[in-house]
Amino acid sequence: MIIDCHGHYTTAPKELDAYRKAQQEGLKDPNHVPSKGSLGITDDQIRESLEGAQLKMQRERGSDVTIFSPRAVGMGHHIGNETTSKNWTEHCNELIHRVVGLYPKNFVGVCQLPQSPGVPPKNCIPELERCVKEFGFIGLNLNPDPAGGMWTDPPLFDRWWYPIYEKMVELEVPAMIHVSGSSNPHFHATGAHYINGDTTAFMQFLTSDIFKDFPTLKFIIPHGGGAVPYHWGRYRGLAQDMKKPPLEELLLNNVYFDTCVYHQPGIDLLTKVIPVDNILFASEMVGAVRGVDPRTGHNYDDTRRYVDKVEWLSAEDKEKIYSGNVRKVFPRFKG
Ligand SMILES: [Zn+2]
């Protein structure tokens, strides 16, 4: 069985974008009273949006199920205020719930949170509980920077975040660390802000005691862990200089990396550096990079081809990467 632990609903019907635009228009009018409203999306539209895209690619690439969440760049936590984010997030999560209802064998839900800059993350708990308890979602995407590239909220090791961690432990759900769009022109969203977010989160974990306080808390750092595997020696050395235990002991019971790395040498490096037990298969399709690599003739994000080709991975190792590790990291996954 092949489980892709990282997919977003990037192909949602255009009504979703129209809702978001209207929401942003409303923000310009000081007398506007925001309300949740409705999307007006039919089940047929949802089917149509998936059949030619994610479902087709699952079939073509031979993956069985995708752990599916709302479009990450669309979370836009920096847009508007807490109410804006709450209304938008509820719609986005409800849409994922409908997708899973229509295709229960192909998708399992993960939620976004109604985060907003300066607003305590504990305010997101009701939506997290709704998604896990009512919708059967198995995880969440946690944005370490709701300010979209401005990094104005406290770091992930600050107690500001602890109520969410407590709830994650209680519900047995892991979080994928996932930034959203960039409001900082220095940082291209998927090319720089994403990779920065991944790398930054890892270093925040390294310098903190989060995993002493929450020994069962689990995070997935997507996009192959940002710059982390490539610079593993630097991180090992920094931990050593700080008199911290080796990384295996310090955080590898809690931190996992996905395989959203879009070329063979990158996957080779990931699988050489990071223990097999800490790697989860993912492609993020249909996502950040949509083209075909002229050097291979295949889509850049067809990551299964790279993992399959890694010679030093045994069949047992590959089974862990493709499905075994997901069951460990997502205890609520039933499949
Ligand atoms: Zn993503």
Amino acid at 259: T
Residue 112 lies in domain:
3-329
Which residues are CB-contacts of 174 (< 8 A; sequence separation ≥ 6)? 139, 140, 168, 218, 219, 220, 256, 329, 330
What is the rounded distance in angstroms from the CA atom of residue 249 to the CA atom of residue 254?
Answer: 10
> How many domains is the chain partitioned into structurally?
1
- C-alpha 10 – ligand 1 centre gap (Å): 10
CB atoms within 10 A of CB 29: 8
Residue with tokens 């209304």: 87
Does some domain include residue 32? yes
Does some domain include residue 334? no
- C-alpha 319 – ligand 1 centre gap (Å): 23
| DSSP-derived secondary structure for 150-179 | S--SPPTTSGGGHHHHHHHHHHT--EEE--
Is 175 within 8 Å of 220 (Cβ atoms)? Answer: yes
Does some domain include residue 163? yes
Which residues are CB-contacts of 55 (< 8 A; sequence separation ≥ 6)? 103, 106
Is 10 within 8 Å of 71 (Cβ atoms)? Answer: yes
- C-alpha 223 – ligand 1 centre gap (Å): 8
Phi, psi angles (nearest 5°) of residue 158: -75, 150
| DSSP-derived secondary structure for 122-144 | GGGHHHHHIIIIIT---EEEE-S
User: Which CATH number covers residue 45?
Assistant: 3.20.20.140
- Find the farthest-apart pair of alpha carbons in the chain and give their distance in angstroms, rounded: 63
Question: Of 46, 18, 50, 43, nearest to 286 (Cα)?
Answer: 50
Does some domain include residue 29? yes
Which residues are CB-contacts of 185 (< 8 A; sequence separation ≥ 6)? none
Does some domain include residue 93? yes
Does some domain include residue 185? yes
Helix (H) or strand (E) holding 8: strand 3-9
pLDDT of 50: 98
Does some domain include residue 208? yes
CB atoms within 10 A of CB 18: 12
What is the rounded distance in angstroms from the CA atom of residue 335 to the CA atom of residue 153?
Answer: 37
What is the rounded distance in angstroms from the CA atom of residue 283 to the CA atom of residue 49?
Answer: 19
Does some domain include residue 335? no
The catalytic residue positions are: 284
Kindly give the confidence (pLDDT) of every residue in the chain, 335 residues in length, as a single tens digit, with 9 standing for 90 and above: 999 999 999 999 999 999 999 999 999 998 888 999 999 999 999 999 999 999 999 999 999 999 999 999 999 999 999 999 999 999 999 999 999 999 999 999 999 999 999 999 999 999 999 999 999 999 999 999 999 999 999 999 999 999 999 999 999 999 999 999 999 999 999 999 999 999 999 999 999 999 999 999 999 999 999 999 999 999 999 999 999 999 999 999 999 999 999 999 999 999 999 999 999 999 998 888 999 999 999 999 999 999 999 999 999 999 999 999 999 999 999 97
- C-alpha 240 – ligand 1 centre gap (Å): 31
Name the pTM for this structure: 0.97
